[in-house]
Structure 1
Amino acid sequence: MNTAALLIYLSVMALTPGPNNLILAASGLNHGFGRTVPSLLGISTGIALQSAIIILFMSQLAPLLGALKPALTLAGCAYLLYLAWQMKQAGTLGKQAEEQQPMSFMGGIWFQWLNPKTWMMSLNMGMVFLPQDMPAGQAAVLFFLLVFITMMPCISVWAGAGVALQKLLNTPRRLACFNGTMALTLAGTALWLLLDSLPAGRLGAANFPI
Structure 2
Amino acid sequence: MLMPRCRARLRTDGTRLRAGSCPAAIEAASSSATARYRGSSSFAMDTTVSHYFLAMCICTLPSCCSNLSRMPTVALLPLALFCLVASITPGPNNVLLMRSGASFGVRGSTGHMLGIQLGCLALLLLCWMGVGTLLLALPTAFLVMRWACFLYLLWLALVILGEARGVAAAGNGNGAFLPRPMRWYEASAFQLVNPKAWMMAVTMASAFYGSNAPGAPEIAVAAATWVAIGTPSMLVWTLWGATIERVLRRPRERQVYALLMAAAVAATALWMLR
One-letter amino acid matched to 1:107: E
Q: Equivalences for 1:39-188 in 2 at 5 Å?
A: 39-55=112-128, 57-58=129-130, 60-67=131-138, 68-91=141-164, 92=167, 93-94=173-174, 96-97=175-176, 100-127=179-206, 129-132=207-210, 135-138=213-216, 139-188=218-267
Unaligned segments of structure 2, at least 5 residues: 1-64, 66-74, 168-172
Aligned length: 191
State whether residues 47 and 148 of structure 1, in contact with CA within 8 Å, keep that contact through their aligned partners in structure 2. Answer: no
State whether residues 45 and 148 of structure 1, in contact with CA within 8 Å, keep that contact through their aligned partners in structure 2. Answer: no
TM-score when scaled to structure 1? 0.82
Distance 2:178 2:84 in 1: 33
Aligned twin of 1:204: none
One-letter amino acid matched to 2:214: A
Q: Runs of at least 4 residues of structure 1 off by over 4 A?
A: none
One-letter amino acid matched to 1:13: A
State whether residues 29 and 163 of structure 1, in contact with CA within 8 Å, keep that contact through their aligned partners in structure 2. Answer: yes
Provide, for residues 71-109 of structure 1, a one-character-per-residue CA deviation record: whole Å limited to 9, x for no partner. Answer: 111111111111222222333453x42971111111111
Please, what is the CA RMSD of the aligned residues? 2.0
Aligned twin of 2:77: 4
- Kindly name which structure, 1 or 2, has the bigger radius of gyration based on alpha carbons: 2
State whether residues 177 and 258 of structure 2, in contact with CA within 8 Å, keep that contact through their aligned partners in structure 1. Answer: no
Distance 1:134 1:11 in 2: 27
Unaligned segments of structure 1, at least 5 residues: 197-210
One-letter amino acid matched to 2:205: G
1:17 to 90, 100, 108: 90
Aligned twin of 1:208: none
Provide, for residues 14-47 of structure 1, a one-character-per-residue CA deviation record: whole Å limited to 9, x for no partner. Answer: 1122221111111111111111111111112211
| C-alpha displacement of 1:135 | 4.7
State whether residues 27 and 36 of structure 1, in contact with CA within 8 Å, keep that contact through their aligned partners in structure 2. Answer: yes
